[in-house]
Each structure stands twice: as C-alpha cells, then as structure tokens.
Amino acid sequence: MKYTPDKKSIRNHEVPQWFNDAKLGIFIHWGLYSVPAFAVTGMDITETMEKLGIEGHFKNNPYAEWYLNSLRISGSPTEAYHKKTYGENYSYDDFVPKFNEAIKKWNPEEMAELFKKAGAKYVVLVTKHHDGFLLWPSKYTNPNKKNYMASRDIVGDLTKAVKKMNMKMGFYYSGILDWSFQPNPIKDAKSFLKNGVITEEYTEYATNHWYELMEKYDPIILWNDIGFPPDYPPKLVLYKIFADFYNKHPDGVINDRWRQPFVKGMKQTGPHKDFRTPEYQTFKKAMKKKWESTRGIGFSFGYNKFETEKDYMNSEQLVRMFIDIVSKNGNLLLNVGPMADGTIPEIQKKCLLGLGKWLEVNGDAIYGTRPWSTAEGQTSGGIDVRYTQKKDSLYAILLDTPKNNNITIKSLIIDKDSTVQLLGHEENLIWKQENDNLKISIPENLNYAIAYSFKITPKPKIN
C-alpha cells in the first residue's frame, strides 16, 4: 500500500515476518564515551533507581555512554574520575582526536563476522548518542561544534560489512536529547523532562539527519531514543519520516521511542510503533504484540573498562534469558560496547560466541518460531521449561541439565502418534504419557548443553 503522513495510514503498517522470525539483534554503543570508558559499577539501571532514587541514579549512572551528563553533575564519581585522570581543564571534546586516532585500527568485517557467529539476524548501530557526536560524515554539521564527527565513515563501513554477511541493518539516533545543544545536565526527574531540545532549528537538524541516514545507507530499522523534537507548523515532520520510510521499505520496522513533547500552541504527533523496547527488563507472560528486550551484556551499553566478570552475564545466563524472551514473543537486542578502537572486549566476545554455539544446535527451536498457548512449564524435578512453536511442531526447551535419563514435563499431553526428538541427537526418543505429564527417556552420556530443546511433532492440540 501507499502510506501517507497521517496517523490512520501509518498505523496500518504490520510487523514484517522477518522481524518476527529474527529473534536476535546486536546493538552497538560506540563513541567518544568509549575513550574514558568509565561508569560506576555494581548495579544495573533498575537497581540504581530502586536503591538510590532518581537523583542518586543520575549521579551514579551505570551507563558509560552517559559520561558527559555524569561529568556535568557536581560531586559525581565521574567528575572525580575525570579530574584525577585528565586534569581540571580537559574537556569532553578533547576526546575527539583520541577517538579518531583509535578508529583507524577498526576492522568492520571482523566485527560483522563476530555478530554472524553469535547468531544475530540484524544489527542496530548508534549513529548519534545524547552527546551529539556523529559516526558518519554528515553534510548537516553541528552548528555549535566544529568537526564534531568521526573522521571515518563508521556507519557506512559497518553497514556494508553487515549487509555482506546477509544480516539486516538498523540505526539508532538520539532524537530529542543532544548535549551539544543543551549544556545543563539531567540530575532528576524535572531536569530530565526539560533536557530535550525543542527549537525549530534542532527539529530541522534531527530530521535532516534521519533523511540523510535513510537515503545514504538504506536502513531497515529506525530506532529512535527518548523522544523526538516537535513538529513546527505547517509541517508534520514525524509522520512524513514514517510514511517515506515505509513506502521505501514496507518490510521496515520502527521502534516506540518517538514521543514528541507537548509545546503550547503546537500540534503533537501521536506516538507510533511496530514494537516495544523494554530496557533491562522482560515480561512474565507471552505478549500479543511484538517487543524487543534491549540490554548490555554487562550493566552498561557503552564500554566500561571498570566492569569485571561479576558485572557481566555469562553464556549460561544469556542463553536462558534469550530463550525466555523468545517464548514470550520477544526479540533480544543484545548490546556490545566496543573499545575506542572498535575492539570487542574478550569478555563480551566469549558471551556472544557461547550464544552462537548453542544456536548452531538449537536454532530450529528459536528462529521462525512463535509463542505457544503457554510460555512456561516445569519438569517434575523442578527444571524450568519454555515453549515455542513452528508449523506443526512444538519445542519444549529445558533451561538446565537433567540429573538422570528420564525427565517428566508436567501438564503436557501430546498426540499418541507423536515423535519426540532432541535437537542435536539423530534418533527419536522413547516417551510415554503418564496422566497429564509427559515422560521422556533421554540418551545416556548426554553431552552438556546450556539448555536442551525437544521437538514434538505434531504439536499438541489445545483444549
């Protein structure tokens, strides 16, 4: 269909099959903040909010990519670290030449290959974070800072490498927050609400950037953050961006963080989304509408060199969290935070490769699946089970290792002529129905895996 720049037309867009099928994307936070690579460690965003309150959170922000904002808060650990490490007169802008020197070493093909090995189907790159620094050579330069962009076309080089690996490419852009236009820090709820840049000049600046990114690099995902500056009459900028994007890519997707602020005397464009994006959170049940959980492997999105192994998920935690998300109609947008030179830290790489290794055997229970009538189950031995389905098969995925050669999945009745297979094992398994429970005999000397996927064909009928 032809989309027009209005609410009724835009909301006719449906989530494309590829996004429902993909399940795993890689997020990349990489910029000037990757040079100091500092943030307070030990807690994620949810914990800092709960334990320290909103003011304490911003002062002790675990997100290294918020370095500039944290630096601007008097008495913050970031301010103390910055003065001790770089001196009183060293500004955030002084990181520009350091970053531009570091990125000369970066190998985009190597980075894309790692994401492919991890099992990712799409990549979302931060093209501009809240600090306003650009990762591509834009013709729409920052009016407040000279040469405030990467000396290398990171967006172009990575897009080319990602597409060459047959993964889809998307772009993140910090819509309403830009600290190169806004000198005041976010310290609490009130200052957060007032920190967005809402001038007509900035609306034009952000809009031009989105169109330049779409026209020059052709993304399939538009991933805006925090919000978007207001439309200035007579233009309806936001719906026009959506309509133009969908007309070029009917199979494109748009996230849920485009809400425009209320400005007296001006029209607010109603929010639109193809999918929700909870951050460091998941849901307890399967959701009817598509969603995407986004988080870092550690507590930060940008690289934090002070995080240790205890701050990171290991492969076991990652795989089991991923299975849970997929069973509930979600995708996982898993973030990597490269060092300034584009190197993915070994601790992150190890986690990604562990996920990829598990998917090599068990991908059939993940890719292309949909939620079943129930997402969660359990064995009689207390092992959690997650369900997915595809075509005529049901997948029951055990989130731990069975302790003996028989497992009993509670409250699961299957057809008497069903076949039960263990992914990665050639022969069909012996099983029997014991009232409402399914007892499966599993191979002896079962190789260790983070989780075990049982394929049941045909899938059980729902009463």
Domains assigned to the chain: 7-365 (3.20.20.80), 370-457 (2.60.40.1180)
Quote the CA–CA distance of 329 and 20 in Å, as a whole number: 8
Q: What is the DSSP string of 23-58?
A: -EEEEE--SGGGTT-----S--HHHHHHHHHHHHHH
Under-70 pLDDT residues of the chain: 267-270, 463
- Per DSSP, what are the bridge partners of residue 295? 334
DSSP summary character for residue 134: B
284, with CB counted inside 10 A (0-12, 13-18, 19+), is exposed
Q: For residue 172, which of 277, 101, 260 has the smallest C-alpha distance? A: 277
| pLDDT at res. 264 | 75
| pLDDT at res. 268 | 65
Q: Is 293 helix (H, G, I), strand (E, B) or coil?
A: strand
DSSP summary character for residue 363: G
Angle at which helix 108-117 crosses helix 346-362, to 10 degrees, equals 40
pTM of the model: 0.97
Sequence-distant (≥ 6) Cβ neighbours of residue 202 within 8 angstroms: 178, 181, 229
- Give the residue carrying structure tokens 């490490």: 85
Quote the CA–CA distance of 154 and 298 in Å, as a whole number: 24
CB 351 within 8 A of CB 320: no
Quote the CA–CA distance of 166 and 18 in Å, as a whole number: 13
| pLDDT at res. 299 | 96
- Give the residue carrying structure tokens 């909301």: 11
- Per DSSP, what are the bridge partners of residue 171? 125, 222
Question: Hey, what's the torsion of the CAs at 343, 345, 349, 352, to 10 degrees?
Answer: -100
